[in-house]
Amino acid sequence: MSGGRVYLRPTAFVDAPYGLEGRAARLAGGLAWFAAVELIGRDGAELVPVAAIEARLAGLGEAARTAWANLTAPRPPLQLGARQVRLDQPQAMGIVNVTPDSFSDGGAFEDPERAVAAGHAMAAAGAAIVDVGGESTRPGAKPVWEGDEAARAVPVVARLAASGTAVSIDSRKAAVMEAALAAGAVMVNDVSALTWDPRAAEVAAAAGCPVVLMHHRGDPATMQDDPRYDRPVLLEIYDWLEARIGAATAAGIARERILVDPGFGFGKTVQHNLQLMNGLAMLHGLGCPLVVGASRKRTIGALSGEAPADRRLGGSIALALKAAEQGAQIVRVHDVAETVQALRVWRGLRDAALAPPRERP
């Protein structure tokens, strides 16, 4: 590498570290182990074995050494009110859109009773968190007045929280965040990464709750109008999220309460989304838990004969498992029962691989 920033992408994943002491590293304290790191700089890439990475990093600058420390550091449990959610294994976040125009369900949960029932069913099926939103952010969607958004989402948040469900409010508006947090929400999920509302960071900081910062390009109304990036999409996302983490901490949000979401489908083409998923493990270098929401997104339809949103379960599970194998701590999904089942089978495979050799059949 001849100068400039160097990014680290874990690769050469292995089933287990046995017999590879010093030659394999654990990714973010999860269930994935890798044996090599791709160093990506402005003049190309270099593949370095884990056994040689410490020596190689010595001349690459503080940012590269920090990224390596972040890649190999465990993520502490997520504190959601009185509940802790472990992040040493992938967790499911269920999606409840209390909107008339959601891309994924066409307003199926616009009725509050159905929305609450859906949230309860998701929690019973194994969702660690239920994410409630009152404004559609699908491509082409128009902004919703904060009063209408709160009227849709907050009663559902209150009823789910009262039943003991860990609820996240999916909003980019400070007033909606405030109302939902007062009603029992224990997490904020902002698709604008606290850029849309100038008061949002202040509200999140005062609440002291976990906050998801999501990458996006443009706003929902225009984000899919020929999105372009000057550099490889993964590198731009990395830098953008790093800047947003810095802005959030400067606003008083504790770093350990920040999660990041690369924004699958938000200002990205199909090719951008595929590149993002293939290189996802790099984002652990930011040092924050990783949330991935690819469920029912258009990329799945584009790769499967333009299948409509309600016929994208197989593709959604494929992307959830791709995220899990690269260490994503939370997958945000519509089909909770099916995804949790897939993750449990995946976890069983990982547990079998990670059992000491003498305990295997």
Q: Which residues contact 195 (CB under 8 A, 6 or more apart)?
A: 244
What sign has the CA pseudo-torsion 31, 37, 38, 39?
Answer: positive
Question: Which residue is it, tokens 């969607």?
Answer: 141
Burial 30-65 (b: 16+ CB within 10 A, else e): bbbbbbbbbbbbeeeeeebebeebeebbeebeeebe
* 234: nearest Cα among 253, 208, 215: 215
Q: Residue 139 corresponds to which tokens in the numbers above?
A: 């491509």
Question: What Rg, from alpha-carbon coordinates, does the chain have?
Answer: 20
The neighbouring-strand residues paired with 332 are 93
Which residue of the set 75, 297, 298, 350 is catalytic? 297
Q: Residue 215 corresponds to which tokens in the numbers above?
A: 């990458």
Angle among Cα 336, 83, 179 to the nearest 5 degrees reads 80
Give the containing element (helix H, strand E) for 314: helix 313-325
Annotation marks residue 332 as catalytic? yes
d(CA 360, CA 352) in angstroms, rounded, equals 8
Query: Is residue 275 a contact partner of residue 307, using CB atoms and an 8 Å limit?
Result: no
d(CA 204, CA 319) in angstroms, rounded, equals 30
d(CA 75, CA 87) in angstroms, rounded, equals 6
d(CA 361, CA 357) in angstroms, rounded, equals 9
Query: Is residue 341 a contact partner of residue 301, using CB atoms and an 8 Å limit?
Result: no
Query: Is residue 62 a contact partner of residue 15, using CB atoms and an 8 Å limit?
Result: no
Annotation marks residue 199 as catalytic? no
User: Residues with catalytic annotation?
Assistant: 297, 332
